[in-house]
Chains A and B, each alone.
Chain A
Amino acid sequence: MLCILLGVLALHLLVFILLIVSTASNEKGHSDLWYSCLSEPKAYSCSQASNEDWIQAVQALMILAVVFCFVSLLAFAYQLFRLFKGGRFYFTSIFQILASVFVMCAAIIYTVMRPSNGKGFGYSYVLAWVAFPLSLISGLIYLILRKKD
């Protein structure tokens, strides 16, 4: 039981870190969530990312995903000590699944609406797509997990 708990907790923390890195990172030379920077040989100029609606929606969804993941972490810690024997971690799994849904929406919107300038994808985009299935799996595990202590 302890191994399973530790494993699940490690997965949750991994998802949380991936989400934070994906949300907050700005790679030079790629059009990103918060700034768009052009890199030239000896200079770079950064301006705030376009004010378009979809980028703001993507920002909001990523931030919400991070918040929900954090809340689910807190709910997990709480339910670990307070749940009655044999109960399921409902709250934890609900928040985690919601977080994964938000990440999925954000990634899809970004994929569809991204500016078509052929620059390729930055690592933050890849991390978001990786975080989505991991958080979904983590949420489903919480749904199935039963407290046996």
Chain B
Amino acid sequence: MLRVLALASVVLLGIAPQASQAITVYTSWERHALVGSDVRLSCSFFSWRFVSEDVSFTWRYRPDGSRDSVSIAHYAGGEPYTDNKGAFKDRVEFVGNPKRRDGSILIKNLDFSDNGTFTCDAKNPPDIVGRPSSVRLLVFETLPIQAGVITGAIIGVVLGLLVLIVVIYYLMRFLVARRVFSLSVSKHGKKKKEGSQQRQASFLLLLFFLFLLPLLQYPPPLLPPLPHMHPVCSDKRNRLARCHHHMTIWRDYNSIQRLLREFGMRKRVVKGNIHLLCMAAQLT
């Protein structure tokens, strides 16, 4: 316990000298604006000290291609002062809230000659050691599309379409398999009752196979193939119950397979899709 206290006090003492660390000023990196519009350049700072009454903000402007900067806005002693002689006469307004560490300015009615770098310098006595931060202003006639917007859009749309197509494809296969399976189950259930209805159901089932199995064949199943083609179930003993269930279907499909072979369909087509129907069976 004492050790914890000692450690904590050491840490706190280590932090205390940082109370007089440098002030950090934050502005945007770059601002894009249209000719004739207004732009708000934001500037804020972080300081370990509370905001004093002598907090000051200074905004300087350096045109593109020039090395000298001229001051255009200043806030000190609770009063804002803006340019009343130079190029920014009556166009600059101090809109920040210094008590909330915000020293933003608003520049109205932009022109192409306003292209340049704006530097904000904030001082919070006694915290005065810090580097000013700059924001670059670019004035355009028409705003260009940001780099990467179109790139991201194209990539996103194509990948999204791909995912959608894959999902729809598997959904369709699954639904068709379920439909076929439910038909066969209904046929099997009423087997003892009416013979003509059975024949009708089996005919419908056959139709389904004829029309939909070619569709199902199309890309070959990405799902795992069956290890052996004999029983539809796996070899594990604890799946015996399901095995029986499937064996009945298998009997039906064997007969259907024979019929299909007469029609010229490939055996592989039927075999390749039986596990799908098994899957559908497990879920119904």
Contacts and interface: CB of A to CB of B under 8 A. Distances in A.
Interface of A: 48-49, 51, 53, 56-57, 59-61, 63-64, 67, 78-79, 82-84, 86-88, 90-91, 94
A82 B222 CA distance: 7
Interface string B129-173: 000000000000000111111111111001100000000000000
A8 to B, nearest CB: 18
Contacts of A91: 219, 222
A48 B147 contact: yes
A91 B169 CA distance: 13
B70 to A, nearest CB: 26
Given A56-B147, A67-B155, 10 more contacts: A49-B147, A53-B150, A56-B150, A56-B151, A61-B154, A64-B159, A82-B223, A82-B224, A90-B219, A91-B222
Contact of B145 (A53, A67, A86, A88): A53
8 contacts: A56-B150, A59-B151, A60-B152, A60-B153, A63-B151, A64-B155, A91-B222, A94-B219
Contact of A83 (B149, B154, B159, B225): B225
Nearest to B224: A82
Contacts of A56: 145, 147-151, 154
A88 B268 CA distance: 13
A59 B154 CA distance: 10
B274 to A, nearest CB: 12
Interface hub of B220, B221, B224 (most chain A Cβ within 10 A): B220
Contacts of B144: 51
B215 to A, nearest CB: 14
Interface residues of B, number: 23
B116 interface: no
Chain A: interface secondary structure? helix
Given A57-B154, A64-B154, A82 B225 contact: yes
B151 A84 contact: no
Contacts of A51: 144-147
Interface hub of A63, A84, A94 (most chain B Cβ within 10 A): A84
B220 A87 contact: yes
B222 A78 contact: yes
B80 interface: no
A71 to B, nearest CB: 8
Interface in B149-207: 149-155, 158-159
B280 to A, nearest CB: 19
Nearest to B145: A51
Contact of A64 (B147, B158, B268): B158
Interface hub of B151, B155, B158 (most chain A Cβ within 10 A): B151
A77 to B, nearest CB: 13
Given A84-B221, A88-B220, A67 B159 contact: yes
Contacts of B225: 82-84
Contacts of B146: 51
B165 to A, nearest CB: 11
Closest 7 CB pairs of A and B: A60-B154, A84-B225, A56-B150, A90-B219, A60-B151, A87-B220, A56-B151
Contacts of B272: 84
Contacts of A57: 150-151, 154
